Amino acid sequence: MRASWRQILVSGFGGLVLVVVVLQSRDIGLANMYGDYIVEHSGLWAIRFLLISLLMTPLNTLLGWRWAIGLRKTAGLWAFGFALLHFVRYLSGVIKVIDLQLFRQDYVVLGLVALGILTAMALTSHRFAMKRMGKRWKQLHRLVYAAGIVMMVHALVAYANTKRAFMGDQRVTVEVLIYLAALVVLLMVRVRFIREAVGQIRGQLKMGDAPATPHS
């Protein structure tokens, strides 16, 4: 199947973000006194791309933008890519500088659970797996919401352990809490009665826009 221009745009954006994160890490220094630039920013971009991916279904169901469905996978794969970069970068730090005791931290376990779900989803994101897995495919891909919640709790706890948080810099905490609220809203719009209510409001708005029928 050929990629649409929208998919190319999302992929191009993901690539651009990746280049900017890597280039900025060179300017700022890979590991500054506050932590590792790539670990910090790839983690946040993984969350942002996951939210972009989850936004696509409501754009289709609530607004009727069918093209949005095609972007779910592209954005989801970028979320996985950034999460993998975050993990690999962290791992290289653990092996070189820190010690393996860090793997016992609760937030690291949460991060591994979220990454495990994203990995399973990325590996089964093609048509062949979808056909072979049947019902189980849907069940597996529903776990994306659990992954979203787990990764945000991971980010909040991990950040609370960083030097920046101790120094009173709470920007990441505020940002992740906003993402968590957005995730809850995205979950709620999947609930049937909320979907139906939005559908009714849209229908009424459309009727309001329609030109009045002339009296005979």
Q: Which of residues 97-136 bind ligand HEM (CB under 6 A)?
A: 108, 111-112, 114-115, 118
Report the amino acid identity of residue 94: V
The neighbouring-strand residues paired with 31 are: 36
Regarding 14 and contact with ligand HEM (CB under 6 A), the answer is: no
Nearer residue to ligand HEM within complex by CB, 170 or 204: 170
Name the token pair of 140. Answer: 């597996």
Instruction: Determine which helix (DSSP H) or strand (DSSP E) holds 64, and give its type and residue range.
Output: none
Closest distance of CB 197 from ligand HEM, Å = 32
Find, among 135, 7, 2, 136, the residue nearest to 72 by Cα. 7
Closest distance of CB 111 from ligand HEM, Å = 3
Regarding 141 and contact with ligand HEM (CB under 6 A), the answer is: no
Regarding 180 and contact with ligand HEM (CB under 6 A), the answer is: no
Question: Of the ranges 3-11, 12-20, 152-160, 192-200, which one interacts with ligand HEM (CB under 6 A)?
Answer: 152-160
Find, among 49, 27, 37, 34, the residue nearest to 148 by Cα. 49
Name the token pair of 94. Answer: 């653990």
Report the amino acid identity of residue 157: V
Regarding 49 and contact with ligand HEM (CB under 6 A), the answer is: no
Among 35, 48, 173, 190, binds ligand HEM (CB under 6 A): 35
Residue 104 has φ and ψ, to the nearest 5°, of: -85, -10
Regarding 159 and contact with ligand HEM (CB under 6 A), the answer is: yes
Regarding 68 and contact with ligand HEM (CB under 6 A), the answer is: no
Q: Tokens 């469905």: give the residue.
A: 69
Closest distance of CB 140 from ligand HEM, Å = 16
Burial track 189-203 (b if 16+ CB lie within 10 A, e otherwise): eeeeeeeeeeeeeee
99: left (phi over 0), alpha (psi -120 to 50) or beta: beta
Report the amino acid identity of residue 53: S
Decide if 38 contacts 89 (C-beta within 8 A). Answer: yes
Closest distance of CB 67 from ligand HEM, Å = 26
Closest distance of CB 18 from ligand HEM, Å = 15
Question: Of the ranges 25-33, 40-48, 66-74, 122-130, which one interacts with ligand HEM (CB under 6 A)?
Answer: 40-48
Greatest extent of the chain over all pairs of C-alpha atoms, in Å? 84
Q: Residues in the site for ligand HEM, rule: CB under 6 A?
A: 35, 39-40, 43-44, 46-47, 83, 86-87, 90, 108, 111-112, 114-115, 118, 151, 154-155, 158-159, 162, 172
